[in-house]
């Protein structure tokens, strides 16, 4: 899969492409169906498939303090899109220059001159351009005039409701991991590099790997039984994701303790799959009470994993 970053790096593809535009946060079952539409047309027209993304996501640009928690970092998103067989990802920096483009300028500079789009798949509620003045009808009109076709995405339902990133966030927020898995098509996971932390877990008898979140907010909070994969090895573990109120944490962190494991894994990538919520994060009155709770969490997690055997 090829990645192109920034408007300045766009070059019109000699034969054109079929494309879609969106956040693709989580690359859930609804997104996967859009990509299936894309692949179907890509094979029919013998053109590469392209996904157009924005970084930061538009709501993060306009209201960073009120934007929803991300399901996927950019790195995770690219991993999932590659797994889905996408040929090309165009990642555009959502900044003042891009948000100032009119709808017609966006069509001309990005879709026509930039990518030579021949076929476009977008939601019929898609809005774009300065002040969101561009819509699906405008795209269809431009397509007729400029030589590209536009079709809307199919609606994929689960329990008579549209599958969406919002539904998945709501499920994760209340610890409904099985529902999130059903909507995603896989267990919810976070991947990131293991960085040095405060070494507090080691002092408490439960050393942890500090996994970089690479997002403004975490989509779930609390203590979880997890499966963690590092260096190709899958381990049982316990993860805390949140603000660590007992030690006055200032930002959300993901800390993972691997059960029955010891070794140096700093700097490596870890994939953390959330299997069962054990409890909410809470502030303890003392470090001793926190230590006691941690060891209770380890016991509960061990019982959970034993029940899977």
pLDDT tens digits, 255-275: 999 998 877 888 999 999 999
285-298 per-position pLDDT tens digit: 777 888 888 889 99
9 is in which domain, residue-wise? 2-158
pTM score, two decimals?
0.91
Residues 46-67 have pLDDT tens digits of: 999 999 999 999 999 999 889 9
Match 């934007």 to its residue by tokens: 67
Give the Cα separation of 107 and 203 in Å (integer): 57
Contacts of 68 by beta carbon, 8 Å cutoff, 6+ apart = 59, 165, 166, 169, 217
Is position 11 within any domain?
yes
Q: Which range among 28-37, 143-152, 292-301 shows the weakest confidence by mean pLDDT? A: 292-301
- 255 tagged catalytic: yes
User: Among the residues of 84-135, which ranges form H helices?
Assistant: 96-99, 103-106
Considering the domain architecture, whether residues 207 and 127 belong to the same structural domain is answered as no
Q: Assess whether 290 and 147 both reside in one domain.
A: no
Question: For the chain, what is the domain count?
Answer: 2
Exactly one of 255, 285, 292, 303 is catalytic; which is it? Answer: 255
119 and 195 in a single domain? The answer is: no
Residues 154 and 226 placed together within one structural domain of the fold? no
Asked if 284 and 211 sit in the same domain, the reply is yes
Alpha helix positions (H), 129-274: 136-146, 165-173, 177-184, 200-203
Same domain, residue pair 194 and 120: no
């Amino acid at each position: 899969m090829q990645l192109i970053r920034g408007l300045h790096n766009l070059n019109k593809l000699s034969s054109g492409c079929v494309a879609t535009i969106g956040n693709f946060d989580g690359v859930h079952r609804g997104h996967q169906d859009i990509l299936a539409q894309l692949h179907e047309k890509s094979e029919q027209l013998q053109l590469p498939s392209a996904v157009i993304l924005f970084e930061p996501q538009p709501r993060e640009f306009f209201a960073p303090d009120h934007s929803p928690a991300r399901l996927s970092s950019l790195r995770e998103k690219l991993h999932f899109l590659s797994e889905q067989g996408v040929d090309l990802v165009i990642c555009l920096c959502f900044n003042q220059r891009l948000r100032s483009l009119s709808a017609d300028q966006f069509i001309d500079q990005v879709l026509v001159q930039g990518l030579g789009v021949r076929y476009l798949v977008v939601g019929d509620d898609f809005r774009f351009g300065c002040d969101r003045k561009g819509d699906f009808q405008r795209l269809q009109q431009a397509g007729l005039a400029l030589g590209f076709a536009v079709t809307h995405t199919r609606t994929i339902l689960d329990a008579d409701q549209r599958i969406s990133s919002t539904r998945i966030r709501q499920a994760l927020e209340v610890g409904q991991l099985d529902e999130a898995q059903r909507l995603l098509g896989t267990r919810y996971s976070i991947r990131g590099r293991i960085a040095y932390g405060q070494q507090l877990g080691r002092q408490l008898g439960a050393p942890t790997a500090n996994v970089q979140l690479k997002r403004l907010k975490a989509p779930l909070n609390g203590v979880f039984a997890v499966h963690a994969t590092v260096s190709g090895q899958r381990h049982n573990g316990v993860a805390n994701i949140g603000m660590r109120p007992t030690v006055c944490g200032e930002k959300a962190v993901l800390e993972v303790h691997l059960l029955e494991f010891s070794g140096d894994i700093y700097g490596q990538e870890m994939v953390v799959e959330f299997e069962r919520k054990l409890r909410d994060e809470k502030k303890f009155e003392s470090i001793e009470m926190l230590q006691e709770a941690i060891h209770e969490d380890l016991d509960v997690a061990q019982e959970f994993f034993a029940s899977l055997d």
